[in-house]
Amino acid sequence: MRTDLQNFIDTIPAVGDASRQTETFWLNEKKVPQGEKRIDLVCPEQIDDARRRLERFAPYLCEAFPELRETGGIIESKLREIPGMKDYLNEVYGAGIEGRLLLKMDSHLPVSGSVKARGGIYEVLKHGEDLALEAGLLKETDNYRVLAEPKFREFFGKYTVQVGSTGNLGMSIGIMSAKLGFHVIVHMSADAKQWKKDLLRSRGVEVIEYADDYCAAVEQGRKNSDKDEQSYFVDDENSKNLFLGYSVAGERLKAQLEEQKIPVDEDHPLFVYIPCGIGGAPGGVTYGLKQIYGDHVHCFFTEPVHACCMLFGMATGLQDQVSVRDFGIDGRTDADGLAVGRPSAFVGRVVEPVLSGIATIEDQKLYDLMRGLLDREDIFIEPSSCASFAALIRPNDLKKYAEREGLLDKMPNATHIAWATGGNMVPEDTRREYLKKGLA
Ligand SMILES: *Cc1c(COP(=O)(O)O)cnc(C)c1O
């Protein structure tokens, strides 16, 4: 362990707990009222730009993925109330949830079956658009359906896209890049599941496997890509484009809440819980939601006990200058989508004024929650996804937060959204294995 970290362990209780690999809940003391402090690494206007880009691509996406016809080429997931799961959490974990509980089902996002279908696909589309515009093959005012024509596939075929991934990001980048016609290489860490590698290969994606962790796969991918002028590297550790792709979720969610007549205002707080790996997905979604709901939305990240890199980065203020290994933690978790040992280089700074807190959870509980959700709601989501319930099963900490924010009397009117981040594409035999995990 790094010796300069002892002081943090001794003085910040959540860091102490986390370093001993016990579940914990960190409340962000640096959160300030909305608008008081803005970190200008990304700006709100860029969310609009991202939304418009996705709209330009909608006719193409409709053409490329028949499953998107229903939504006119917009990749979006359902928002579903899960009263049975609320009862389950209250009965089994004493969660004491008063308001409504909903599930944001990014686990079932079309095309790649995880939250990565937001950021990952967005970044590939942006890169493709940049290349085609620059080459004079495309104008922003064109109907992007033309991108499905052989001439464009041939054009993109001269270029390579590369990414390092624990699995789901590789699926998004791989599927989308291959569809456009890019040569695509996915560098997979040891945590990545075999079925994800198989599926990608079946779609014409080159998969390179590493015996090492996520950071090593990213490092190799970056090196490989830097050697080739025609290659573009999707950099999960630094990418603003991924972040912006995720942030569009904010206004999409707003439309869904309005449609379901669920108010969000001073008397009706919204609580959102999002599983966190490197931080791009939960950070982007949080950023998008904060632009819309300001102080009325309360966003929490959730992490596995063995890979709580964002908690360490934010609670110590060291951000990406610290990793779970520096605390003597191995980074190994069954929550493969969250198996990241070092947080993003910029997300922690961007969300520092707006994030409410971070809860951590043991792997075993992820399986229990997975079975609970399947049993009560007939919804299957993958273990990583189940981390979205980590804060809800710590009622005392949530209460402390509500008290601090002056929300205690408003909690009966609160809406809680657990952000399910993956699961739809998990094959049947893997599901069966998961469902047996940790049972006596
Ligand atoms: C990637 C992923 C996350 C978290 O996203 P990050 O950008 O890595 O923080 C959460 N859940 C699942 C299932 C994922 O694949």
For a mutational test of ligand 1's pocket, the pick from 114, 173, 434, i.e. the residue with the most ligand atoms closer than 8 A to its C-beta, is 114
pLDDT for residue 438: 81
Distance CA(410)–CA(50), nearest Å, equals 34
Domain end call among 198, 225, 242? 242
For residues 144 and 235, membership in a common domain is answered with: yes
The pLDDT score that the predictor gives to residue 162 is 97
Pairing status of strand 357-361 against strand 25-27: antiparallel
Shared domain for 265 and 362, answered yes or no, is: yes
* Strands of 25-27's sheet in order across: 25-27, 357-361, 297-304, 270-275, 415-420, 100-105, 79-81
**Atom of ligand 1 lying closest to residue 274 CA:** 10
pLDDT at 41: 80
**Which of 208, 223, 242 finishes a domain?**
242
Does the CB atom of residue 282 touch ligand 1 within 6 A? yes
Predicted local confidence at residue 412, as pLDDT: 97
Distance 280 CA to ligand 1 centre (A): 8
Distance between Cα 338 and ligand 1 center (Å): 6
Which atom of ligand 1 has the smallest separation from the CA of 275?
A: 10
The percent of residues in the chain predicted with pLDDT above 70, rounded, is 100
Instruction: Give the integer Cα–Cα distance in Å for 79 and 58.
Output: 21
User: How many A from CA of 169 to the centre of ligand 1?
Assistant: 8
Are both 150 and 21 inside the same structural domain? no
Establish if 57 belongs to a structural domain. Answer: no
Q: What is the pLDDT of residues 226-237, one digit of tens each?
A: 999 999 999 998
Rounded to an integer, what is the distance from CA 11 to the centroid of its chain?
30
* Dihedral over alpha carbons 28, 4, 7, 16 (to 10 degrees): 60
**Residue in 384, 393, 375 with CA at minimum distance from that of residue 84:** 375
- The residue whose CA is least distant from atom 8 of ligand 1 is 277
Q: Is residue 55 part of a domain?
A: no
User: 428 lies in a domain?
Assistant: yes
Indicate whether 60 belongs to any domain. no
pLDDT score for 245: 98
Is residue 305 within 6 Å of ligand 1 at its C-beta?
no
**Any domain includes 368:** yes
Question: CB of 59 closer than 6 A to ligand 1?
Answer: no
- In terms of domains, do 205 and 266 share one? no
Q: At which of 242, 268, 288 does a domain end?
A: 242
Which residue from 80, 414, 390, 98 is spatially nearest to 267, judged by alpha carbons?
Answer: 414
Atom of ligand 1 nearest to the CA of 423: 13
Residue 386 CB less than 6 A away from ligand 1: no
Same domain, 314 and 400: yes
Residue 403's Cβ-count burial label (10 Å; 0-12, 13-18, 19+) is exposed
Please give the distance, rounded to the nearest whole angstrom, from the Cα atom of residue 8 to the centre of ligand 1.
27
Question: Do 309 and 202 form a contact (C-beta atoms < 8 A)?
Answer: no
Query: CA of 134: how far to CAs of 127, 140, 384, in Å?
Result: 11, 11, 39
Residues 192 and 85 in one domain: no
Query: What pLDDT does residue 142 have?
Result: 98
Judgement on whether residues 122 and 98 belong to the same structural domain of the protein: no
- Angle formed by the axes of helices 428-436 and 363-377, nearest 10°: 110
- pLDDT for 106 equals 98
Task: Give distance in angstroms: CA of 134 to centre of ligand 1.
Answer: 32
Q: Say yes or no: CB of residue 165 within 6 Å of ligand 1.
A: no
371 lines ligand 1 (CB under 6 A): no
Give whole-number Cα distances, 21 to 176, 265, 364, in Å. 37, 37, 13
For 245-274, write each residue's pLDDT tens digit. 999 999 999 999 999 999 999 999 999 999
Nearest to 294 by CA among 222, 353, 244: 353
Q: What is the pLDDT of residues 135-151, one digit of tens each?
A: 999 999 999 999 999 99
The side-by-side arrangement of strands in the sheet containing 183-188 is 206-209, 183-188, 160-165, 231-234
Residue pair 194/201 in contact by the 8 Å Cβ criterion: no
Residue bearing the CA closest to ligand 1, atom 1: 337
How confident is the model at residue 167, as a pLDDT?
86
The protein residue with its alpha carbon nearest to ligand 1, atom 2, reads: 337
Rounded to whole angstroms, the Cα distance separating 54 from 102 reads: 26
Q: Is the CB of 284 under 6 A from ligand 1?
A: no
Amino acid at 204: G
Query: Domain for residue 56, yes or no?
Result: no
- Statement to judge: residues 141 and 223 lie in one domain: yes
Are 144 and 210 contained in the same domain?
yes
Pocket of ligand 1 contains residue 113 by CB under 6 Å: no
Q: Which domain holds residue 167?
A: 114-242
Read off the amino acid at residue 333: T
Q: Evaluate whether 88 touches 369 at the Cβ level (below 8 Å).
A: no
Q: In terms of domains, do 179 and 291 share one?
A: no
Minimum-distance ligand 1 atom for the alpha carbon of 246: 7
Q: What's the pLDDT at 381? A: 98
Give the C-alpha separation, 163 to 120, whole Å.
Answer: 10
Separation in Å, CA 339 to CA 191, 304, 306: 7, 8, 8
How many Å lie between the centroid of ligand 1 and the Cα of residue 336? Answer: 9
Identify the pLDDT of residue 311. 98
55: amino acid identity, one letter:
E
| Domain match, 131 and 167 both | yes
User: Residue 45: exposed, middle, or buried by beta-carbon count in 10 A (0-12, 13-18, 19+)?
Assistant: exposed
pTM exceeding the 0.95 threshold for the entire prediction = yes
Residue 170 φ/ψ, nearest 5 degrees: -60, -40
Is 49 part of any domain? no
Residue nearest ligand 1's atom 14 by CA: 337
The verdict on the CB of residue 280 being under 6 Å from ligand 1 is: yes
Residue 181 lies in a domain: yes
Cβ neighbours of residue 277 under 8 Å, at least 6 residues apart? 166, 307, 337, 338, 339, 340, 384
Residues 280 and 136 both lie in one domain: no
CA distance 438 to 53: 44
Q: What is the CATH classification number for the domain harbouring 340?
A: 3.40.50.1100
The number of folded domains in the chain is 2
**pLDDT tens series, the chain, 440 aa:** 788 999 999 999 999 999 999 999 999 999 999 888 877 788 889 999 999 999 999 999 999 999 999 999 999 999 999 999 999 999 999 999 999 999 999 999 999 999 999 999 999 999 999 999 999 999 999 999 999 999 999 999 999 999 998 889 999 999 999 999 999 999 998 878 899 999 999 999 999 998 887 888 889 999 999 999 999 999 998 999 999 999 999 999 999 999 999 999 999 999 999 999 999 999 999 999 999 999 999 999 999 999 999 999 999 999 999 999 999 999 999 998 999 999 999 999 999 999 999 999 999 999 999 999 999 999 999 999 999 999 999 999 999 999 999 999 999 999 999 999 999 999 999 999 999 998 86
